Chains A and B, each alone.
Chain A
């Protein structure tokens, strides 16, 4: 239904089982528990996201996000996001907390 209109990076995280047939659903369901707790690794994606291929002049680009770990719900609510790579708190990085 989306055809060719979606950027290739948006296909990230599709398990190959999606294209494999009916057993894929059970396999995918079983494998979907996020057990990764390495939030620091995920945060590195902020500095090194998917490269932007085929950029044109006079266009603005924001790199696509790839799903990594997720914060547990209560921590996510407190931080303001469930994605560690998008967690950019104010005041944590002195260079970022600009106050002229």
Chain B
């Protein structure tokens, strides 16, 4: 159970990392259309995975909290193992 959550989180981290890398690359190569296509694909995939994760394990951003009681305060916070 714990492992499934970690695995899912790891995938989201990987895709988000890819987005950040491409974001930095595109900042200095704004006309690189290939990179832009990959960025948009990655963003879309990441959004899907993130929605899945949030439905199962709770919000990743405060603005996507949508249950009672307020789920944002729940553990674990990222610095807790």
Chain B residue at minimum C-beta to C-beta distance from A76: B18
Known: A73-B18, A77-B14, A77-B17. A67 touches B29 (CB 8 A): yes
Grouping DSSP codes into helix (H, G, I), strand (E, B) and loop, the A interface class, with mixed when no group exceeds half, is loop
B64 to chain A: closest CB distance in Å?
22
| A39→B30 CA distance, assembly (Å) | 24
Whether B14 contacts A14 by the Cβ 8 Å rule is no
A28 to chain B: closest CB distance in Å?
6
| A71→B11 CA distance, assembly (Å) | 14
Stretch at the interface among B33-41, B51-59, B67-75: B33-41
Whether A76 contacts B17 by the Cβ 8 Å rule is yes
* 5 smallest beta-carbon distances between A and B, as pairs: A73-B14, A32-B37, A77-B14, A13-B32, A74-B14
Within 8 A of B (CB), among A8-48: 10-15, 18, 28-29, 32, 34
Known contacts A14-B33, A18-B33, A73-B18, then 13 further A-B pairs from the complex at CB < 8 Å, ordered by chain A residue:
A6-B30, A6-B31, A10-B31, A13-B34, A15-B33, A29-B37, A32-B33, A34-B38, A67-B25, A70-B38, A74-B14, A77-B14, A81-B21
| A76→B22 CA distance, assembly (Å) | 12
Q: What is the interface residue range for chain A against chain B?
A: 20 to 34
Count residues on chain B whose CB falls below 8 Å from chain A CBs: 21
**Residue A61, interface by CB 8 Å:** no
Q: Which residues of B contact A (CB under 8 A)?
A: 10-11, 13-15, 17-18, 21-22, 25, 28-35, 37-38, 42
A58 to chain B: closest CB distance in Å?
22
Whether B33 contacts A82 by the Cβ 8 Å rule is no
22 contacts between A and B (CB under 8 A): A10-B29, A10-B32, A11-B31, A13-B29, A13-B34, A15-B33, A15-B34, A28-B34, A28-B37, A29-B37, A32-B34, A64-B29, A65-B25, A65-B29, A67-B34, A73-B15, A73-B18, A74-B10, A74-B14, A77-B13, A77-B18, A83-B21
